[in-house]
Amino acid sequence: MVMANGNALAGRIETATFAGGCFWCIEAAFDETQGVESAVSGYMGGDKGSAHYKEVSRGKSGHKEVVQVRYDSSEVSYEALLDIFWHSIDPTDAGGQFADRGSQYKTAIYYHSLTQQVKAQASKEAMASHFTRSIVTEILRAEPFHKAEPDHQNYYKTCPIPYSRYKKGSGREDFIKNTWGEDKPVVKIERNKPVSKKALKELLTPEQYAVTQECGTEPPFKNAYWDNTEEGIYVDIVSGEVLFSSKDKFASKSGWPSFTKPINKSEIVEVEDRKRGMRRTEVRSQGADSHLGHVFNDGPGPDGLRYCINSASLRFIPKADLEKEGYSEYQNL
């Protein structure tokens, strides 16, 4: 069921990435959480186009050990994943994590969308009340992810005895018990909570805010994507949810990006709009509830539709960047 305000549950697989020292322990923290499809150990943040354990573990590549989590946002919220992360690390350690020292073991939250960035920052600020020392965990934009070697995947399952010895011997296990006691993270099965208007106003441009949050309209022919012909996908500027493909984009001569259809109809909410003395069909995103534009019955496609969308509501991801941006499954589009 789709509701006009975009708050209906809609299963959607999203990506979250966390650096918390040795990836064995962080992977184990997420792997058996309800709603988590996969937790994969790997590397992120270096300057090279590839990463290998021997090089990363010596701090020679600039990468951090990370775990990339794929999760169903209708079953587990991003806030819940953040809570699990904070309960698994020492966020005040600026030199690494426990027995592992060096920049490759420093903590970080890599965000994949504006929504994740806002929520990560809010959770970091909330964590300050739990510690006497400053929280040094960085919040960084996600970069290309490199999957770690097979022997590092599911290490807590394949090598449970050495894993347990490592977690205990490194000091992580005692730190978690001494810091949190029985206060374990509460994993809520819910749709992600909306980002506050105040936070969005600080991170969006004035035009992006006016369009997405106040149902504004940008000028025709004076926006980023009206004449963009590059191959790629268009995602919600706020949430990063996938909306449109260049394959379905056409030159409508309207001055705004126009598409014959969305990539996934379930990510789009259509509602009647009678503002300004007109009767139109407004288009909003399902997850972030962003105003996108309107849909008309004068398109060239088989359904005769024209999705007239504001560039200010969108972020374009070129085909060459899909993998590093976490959208590799859309390369076939």
Which residues are part of the catalytic machinery? 22, 308
Q: 114: buried, middle or exposed (CB in 10 Å: 19+, 13-18, 0-12)?
A: buried
- Across the beta sheet with 107-111, the strand order is 138-141, 107-111, 13-20, 64-72, 36-44, 146-147
Q: Token digits for 22?
A: 């040795």
Rounded to an integer, what distance in angstroms lies between the CA atom of residue 35 and that of residue 26? 16
Rounded to an integer, what distance in angstroms lies between the CA atom of residue 81 and that of residue 119? 11
- Which amino acid would we find at residue 168? K
- Which amino acid would we find at residue 314? L
Q: Token digits for 65?
A: 């050990």
Answer for the pair 90, 98: CB distance below 8 angstroms, yes or no: yes
